[in-house]
Chains A and B, each alone.
Chain A
Amino acid sequence: MTQQMTEQYLANSRRGVRRTVTILVGVVVAFFLLSFLQILLMK
């Protein structure tokens, strides 16, 4: 029972890590491009 819980816990962690990293990388790219966009908007 404990073993099963640990495996499910690890699987959930891995899935969560993948989702978190995907979202955060998207945010990083968006902010990088935003700094250029800021210039175009202020022109």
Chain B
Amino acid sequence: MSHAATHDQHDDHHGAPKNFFQRWCMSTNHKDIGTLYLIFALTMFFIGGSFAMVIRAELFKPGLQLVQPYFFNEMTTMHALVMIFGAIMPAFVGLGNWMIPLMVGAPDMALPRMNNLSFWILPFAFTLLLSTLFMPGGGPAGGWTMYPPLSLQSDSLAYVVFAIHLMGISSIMGAINIIATILNMRAPGMDLLKMPVFVWSWLITAFLLIAVMPVLAGAVTMLLTDKYFGTNFFNPGGGGDPVLYQHIFWFFGHPEVYIMILPAFGIISEVIPTFARKPIFGYKAMVFAIASIAFLSFIVWAHHMFAVGLPLGADIFFMYATMLIAVPTGVKVFNWVATMWGGSMTFETPMLFAVAFVILFTIGGFSGLMLALVPADFQYQDTYFVVAHFHYVLVTGALFAIISATYYWLPKWSGRMYSEFWGKVHFWNSVVWVNVLFFPQHFLGLAGMPRRIPDYNVAFANFNMISSIGGFLFGASQLIFLGVLIHGVFFSKKKATDRVWEGAKGLEWTVPSPAPHHTFEVPPVIHDEELAHGNVNA
């Protein structure tokens, strides 16, 4: 490993281009493109977050307070689209771009120019999507699922469909790049079952993306032709069926949920062993669990549609298939706990977010199990219980993992240590307020409050007010994150060491901090005992 590091410094004889345009707009360097993705995701996170603030402000009290109902619906729709496609997914792609070549000992991604194109499509796609808010007739307001016939009434459908096509193309190109890199660019000796779990999680996620993004493209293309070209795919008047759209959409939509959580599993599987100072417990089981979850994600889509009136046999099949996902997910949660068990644990900020992830994601998993039960789901369908469930999975799950990864790898990217004190302030504020924000929404849902409404019965007033206060403070807490990042990247005086964390293992920690512009131009030598998960064949 030290051999590899020596080679690295030697190889870094040509640095980054000095010209700003050349460096950031024409870059083919995986680190620079990773940085661009992460900055883009952070920007979208704050834009999507501002939409959430509008939603919570309107719901602070019963009655219409601040915005018109149509604008409220635009906000719920845009919040979801921006957070899913603009924040969470690009953040994982950014982390993958930065870390996968470093973790497998590759000099760059397999297709560097396509990597540049994958990123630069995104700003145009989101400018197009967000611009619909300022158009006559307004933006999309029928929910991120875009169910017909409601979505067909939107004047901006063509813009939204085009934006989704662009995002899909970007995701597919990104996924092809990641698979091609992992399968063909690994350093000699980095066998598949020696790869870090994060790399495994991305390999499996990329296959999911390739399988389902074209299906989303197909579904929205059919919406487009139904509206503008006289087809009747989803119009019962012409022999079509709107429920068919739901089948196609959720054939994409459920694997999409796992696209947003599997890389998070990979991140947590990197962070916990480092701060527990132990190899991950059950490495192979962790990899097979991710693969099992990915497979099962293709056969559970109709659990989003129990209330449309499926045949009983279908209800039962999708209920049991969904509950089956708890098995590999349970394997992962128990293995993370077993990794921590007996470890010499320390609680730096990345570890705090990782531990919070394990606990709070499990809460989201349990409410998911409740929703999987057909008779219970008939009660929960379209209530705030669903909103609480998926926010526990996506905010305290996916987002907390992204934040954990950012604190974990930031010193490697910037060469400087962030402020541990302010990182912890950010953590404690986030973890307290996120629960104040989302936990009461379980009670609102169980009491029958529907989702996607700007006004509600006064019986729901107290929990909504608590939830809104939690929302405002959780939103404000993320400004601390922004401050810690800016300080950590530009102003921190504390230099990061190459290994950064005492218990960190793996190829990425053998290169200097900050990581040079070019790394592993000569393939590194792999020593099994230095890998993050220990010698898996021992």
Contact = CB atoms under 8 A, between A and B. Distances in A.
Chain B interface size, as a band, is 20 to 34
A36 B239 CA distance: 15
Interface centre among A20, A33, A35 (most CB of B within 10 A): A35
B183 interface: yes
A42 B179 CA distance: 33
Contact of A16 (B184, B244, B251): B184
A39 B110 CA distance: 36
A32 B218 contact: yes
B128 interface: no
Given A9-B523, A16-B183, A27-B210, A21 B244 contact: no
Nearest to B114: A21
Interface string B154-188: 00000000000000000010011001100111001
Contacts of B522: 6
Contact of B214 (A5, A6, A32): A32
Nearest to B176: A24
B523 A28 contact: no
Given A17-B180, A20-B180, A25-B176, A6 B210 contact: no
Given A20-B179, A35-B248, A13 B218 contact: no
A4 interface: no
Q: Specify the main secondary structure of chain A where it touches its partner.
A: helix
A43 B244 CA distance: 10
A28 B241 CA distance: 25
Contacts of A17: 110-111, 180, 184-185
B217 A32 contact: yes
Interface centre among B175, B180, B251 (most CB of A within 10 A): B180
Q: Specify the main secondary structure of chain B where it touches its partner.
A: helix
Contacts of B214: 28-29, 31-32, 34-35
Nearest to B215: A35
B210 A31 contact: yes
Nearest to A16: B184
Contacts of A32: 214-215, 217-218
Nearest to A35: B218
Contact of B218 (A9, A20, A36): A36
Interface string B204-239: 000000111111011100100000000001000001
A35 B219 contact: yes
Given A6-B523, A25-B176, A20 B184 contact: yes
B339 to A, nearest CB: 32
A20 B251 CA distance: 25
Contacts of A13: 110, 184-185
B179 to A, nearest CB: 6
Nearest to A2: B522
A31 B255 CA distance: 14
Contacts of A42: 241, 244
Contacts of B219: 35
Contacts of B188: 5, 9
Interface in B379-405: none
Contacts of A6: 522-523
A1 to B, nearest CB: 14
A24 B179 contact: yes
Contacts of A28: 172, 176, 210, 213-214
A35 to B, nearest CB: 3
Nearest to A24: B176
Contact of A21 (B176, B222, B233): B176
A9 B233 CA distance: 50
Contacts of B172: 28
Nearest to B182: A20
27 contacts: A5-B188, A6-B522, A9-B523, A12-B184, A13-B110, A13-B184, A16-B183, A16-B184, A17-B180, A20-B110, A20-B183, A21-B111, A24-B179, A24-B210, A28-B210, A28-B213, A29-B214, A31-B214, A31-B215, A31-B218, A35-B248, A35-B251, A36-B222, A38-B248, A39-B222, A39-B244, A43-B239
Nearest 5 pairs of A and B residues by beta carbon: A35-B218, A16-B184, A32-B214, A31-B214, A17-B110
